[in-house]
Amino acid sequence: MIWLAILLAILALLALYGINLYNNLVRLKHNVSKAWSNIDVLLKQRHDELPKLVEVCRQYMQHERGTLEKVIAARQQVQQARSSGDMGALGQAESSLRLGLGNLFAVAEAYPDLKADENFQHLQTRISTLEESIADRREFYNESVNQNNIQIEQFPDVLLTRLFAFKPAELLEFSEADTQDPDLKALFQG
């Protein structure tokens, strides 16, 4: 009789542990989704601002068509990667876009009228603020992904995660080009 009570108590504890673990895994999965949603909102806002910036620049920068076209092409790549949810492709597209924006802002230095244009200044500030927010949200997203991935790989949790088919999430990584300054010398040659 006492053995039956002990066995039932052990089974009850295991059931409570399983329920708690499952609920924690669901919470982590939804934290990753929420963190991605926060990034996606900022990417959409920046996506909406870029055509305005390009148009303002186009009015002043008749000889820098290649720089503007690179920003436009990178914007389209980011949109496609966002739509598909491919974090690897998004990281690469974001790197191209950030590099293109850095080059665009660097080239804009050679156009005093453009730098003084109120619309350009507003858009440049707005996009720079969005870039900082994206970096912050990306850090939060990657931390959420990391917590999720650690949890689903730990023992004995991995037994339950396999049973319920919890999948690891993919980090959002950008290339090292994001941390490098644009090559101003190359931009003003040719």
In a domain, 3, yes or no: no
Q: For the residues 164-170, what does the mean pLDDT come to? A: 89
- pLDDT band at 30; cut points 50, 70, 90: very high
pLDDT at 62: 66
37-59 pLDDT, tens digit per residue, is 888 888 888 888 888 888 888 77
Q: Is the dihedral of CA 61, 65, 66, 71 positive or negative?
A: positive
In a domain, 175, yes or no: yes
In a domain, 6, yes or no: no
In a domain, 145, yes or no: yes
Could you tell me the two tokens for 94?
Answer: 């974001």
Question: What CATH number should be reported for the domain holding residue 99?
Answer: 1.20.1440.20
Mean per-residue pLDDT of the chain? 82
Instruction: Using the predicted structure, report yes or no on whether residue 189 has a pLDDT greater than 60.
Output: no
- Those residues whose C-beta lies under 8 Å from the C-beta of residue 104, and which sit 6 or more positions away, are 53, 57, 67, 68, 71
Number of domains in the chain: 1
In a domain, 12, yes or no: no
**Using an 8 Å Cβ cutoff, are 171 and 140 in contact?**
no
In a domain, 74, yes or no: yes
Instruction: Using the predicted structure, report yes or no on whether residue 71 has a pLDDT greater than 80.
Output: yes
4-28 pLDDT, tens digit per residue, is 899 999 999 999 998 999 999 999 9
pLDDT at 59: 72
Closest CA to 86 of 75, 77, 74: 77
Between the alpha carbon of residue 137 and those of residues 83, 110, 174, the distances in Å are 18, 32, 13
In a domain, 161, yes or no: yes
Q: How many CA atoms lie less than 13 Å away from 173 in the CB half-sphere?
A: 8
**Using an 8 Å Cβ cutoff, are 82 and 129 in contact?**
no
Q: What is the pTM of this model?
A: 0.67
Q: E strands of the chain, at which residues? A: none
83-127 pLDDT, tens digit per residue, is 888 888 888 888 888 888 888 888 777 777 777 778 888 888 888
Instruction: Using the predicted structure, report yes or no on whether residue 183 has a pLDDT greater than 70.
Output: no
Tell me which residue range forms the domain holding 83: 28-187
In a domain, 18, yes or no: no
